[in-house]
C-alpha cells in the first residue's frame, strides 16, 4: 500500500470520512513514514505490527487501537501476515479533539470495537443519506468512547521542538529548500537534517515532497494549470522533476491521478 492511498481517497472523493482495510501477506512495510491532514484510527484485526507515531513506537497485537492526530508523522510495519482496519476523518467531521494514542489493550471489548469499525466501514462505502447519517453519528460516538478509554499518561509525546518549528515555517509558505529553511530558523543544514529525521522519523526531503503533494492536489482540482505551470508554481525545476516527486509521494503519476479523478467525477447512470 502506498502511504498516500488514504489521503488520495479522501481528497479524490471530496469526502470528510473514509474507511478501508490495509492488509499485508508477509512481514514488511505496510505504510512508510507519512502524515496527513485527517485523524486516523487503526484497529489491528489480525497479526502483529510495529506502529510508529513521531518518536514513539509499539508492537501491537489484534485488538490494539491507535489514534493518530493530523500532522503526526507515522508508519506501520507488519511482523508477519497482518490486517488493519483504517478509519480516517477530517477534524471538522468529528467536531472533537483527540490525543495521539497507542492502546495495545483498549478497555472496550475487542469484538465490540471490531463491530464498530465494520459498521462505520459499511456506512462509508454506502455513500447514501442513511450511510452519511450513520457515519456522522458513529464517528462522533466512537470518538467519545476513545476519550473515555484513554487513561492519563498514555498519550504519545508531542513532536520535538525543531520538527514543530520546521512544520510551522513550511506550512506558512517558507523556503522549502533545506539550506533556506535552516538559514531562516538559525540551524546548520546538517544539524537540521539530522534532528528533523530523529524527531519526525522521515527525512526533510520526504516531508517537503508530501507537503508539495498536498498543494499540488489543490491546484490540480482547479484544472487551470498544466504540468509545467504546476511545477513552476511548486518550486520544481521542470515538469519531469514534479512528476517524479508526485509519484514518489503518492505511488502514481500526475496523469494517472487525474484520470482516476475524472472517472470518480463521472455521473453515475444509476443515479437520477
CA distance 20 to 155: 25
pLDDT of 14 over the 60 cut: no
* pLDDT value, residue 6: 44
pLDDT: which is higher, 158 or 269 = 158
* pLDDT value, residue 9: 47
Give pLDDT tens digits for 172-196.
889 989 999 999 999 999 999 999 9
Of 148, 154, 48, 155, nearest in space to 108 by CA: 148
Give pLDDT tens digits for 34-87.
888 889 999 999 999 999 998 888 999 999 999 999 888 899 999 999 999 999
Name the helix (H) or strand (E) containing 164: helix 161-171
- What's the whole-number mean pLDDT along residues 100-118? 89
Of 9, 27, 26, nearest in space to 18 by CA: 9
Return the ∠ at Cα 103 (arms to 99 and 106), rounded to 5°.
110
* pLDDT value, residue 271: 44
pTM score above 0.85: no
What is the residue-averaged pLDDT of the chain? 84
**Partners of 101 in beta bridges:** 67, 155
pLDDT of 120 over the 80 cut: yes
pLDDT of 12 over the 70 cut: no
* pLDDT value, residue 54: 85
Return the ∠ at Cα 139 (arms to 138 and 144), rounded to 5°.
95
Of 226, 12, 8, nearest in space to 234 by CA: 226
DSSP 169: H
Of 151, 38, 15, 29, nearest in space to 86 by CA: 38
Amino acid at each position: 500500500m502506498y502511504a498516500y492511498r488514504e489521503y488520495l481517497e479522501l481528497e479524490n472523493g471530496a469526502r470528510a470520512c473514509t474507511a478501508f482495510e490495509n492488509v499485508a501477506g508477509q512481514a514488511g512495510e505496510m505504510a512508510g513514514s507519512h502524515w496527513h491532514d485527517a485523524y486516523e484510527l487503526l484497529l489491528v484485526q489480525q497479526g502483529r505490527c510495529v506502529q510508529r507515531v513521531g518518536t514513539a513506537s509499539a508492537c501491537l497485537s489484534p485488538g490494539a487501537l491507535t489514534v493518530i492526530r493530523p500532522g503526526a508523522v507515522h508508519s506501520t510495519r507488519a511482523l508477519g501476515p497482518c490486517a488493519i482496519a483504517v478509519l480516517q476523518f477530517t477534524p471538522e467531521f468529528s467536531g472533537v479533539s483527540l490525543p495521539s494514542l497507542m492502546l495495545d489493550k483498549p478497555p472496550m471489548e475487542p469484538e465490540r470495537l471490531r463491530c464498530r469499525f465494520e459498521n462505520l466501514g459499511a456506512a462509508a462505502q454506502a455513500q447514501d443519506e442513511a450511510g452519511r447519517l450513520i457515519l456522522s453519528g458513529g464517528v462522533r460516538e466512537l470518538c467519545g468512547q476513545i476519550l473515555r478509554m484513554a487513561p492519563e499518561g498514555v498519550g504519545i509525546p508531542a513532536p520535538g521542538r525543531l520538527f514543530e518549528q520546521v512544520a510551522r515555517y513550511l506550512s506558512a509558505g517558507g523556503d522549502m529548500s533545506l539550506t533556506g529553511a535552516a538559514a531562516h530558523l538559525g540551524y546548520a543544514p546538517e544539524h537540521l537534517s539530522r534532528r528533523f529525521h530523529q524527531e519526525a522519523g522521515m527525512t526533510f526531503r520526504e516531508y517537503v515532497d508530501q507537503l508539495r503533494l498536498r498543494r499540488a492536489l489543490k491546484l490540480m482540482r482547479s484544472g487551470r494549470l498544466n504540468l509545467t505551470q504546476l511545477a513552476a508554481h511548486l518550486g520544481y525545476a521542470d515538469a519531469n522533476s514534479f512528476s517524479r516527486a508526485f509519484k514518489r509521494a503518492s505511488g502514481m503519476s500526475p496523469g494517472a491521478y487525474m484520470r482516476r479523478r475524472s472517472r470518480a467525477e463521472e455521473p453515475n447512470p444509476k443515479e437520477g
